Amino acid sequence: MLTYLFIQVLCLVVLTEALTELVVKSEIFKPLRNYMSKNKWFKELIHCGYCFSVWVAFWMVLLTQTTYPLVPTTVPGSHWLDVGLMSLVVHRASNVLHNLIDKWTDKYYDVRYINSDKSE
* Predicted local distance difference test score (pLDDT) of residue 120: 47
User: What total of structural domains would you count in the chain?
Assistant: 1
Q: What does the pLDDT average to over 28-37?
A: 90
Q: Where in the sequence is the domain holding 95, given as residue range(s)?
A: 2-119
* Predicted local distance difference test score (pLDDT) of residue 1: 63
Of 112 and 29, the structure prediction assigns the larger pLDDT to: 29
Q: What does the pLDDT average to over 38-51?
A: 90
Residue-by-residue DSSP string for 38-82: TSHHHHHHHT-HHHHHHHHHHHHHHHHT-----S-TTSTTHHHHH
* Predicted local distance difference test score (pLDDT) of residue 79: 78
Q: Residue 100: which pLDDT band, with cuts at 50, 70 and 90?
A: confident
Q: For 56-70, what is each residue's pLDDT tens digit?
A: 999 999 998 887 655
* Predicted local distance difference test score (pLDDT) of residue 4: 80
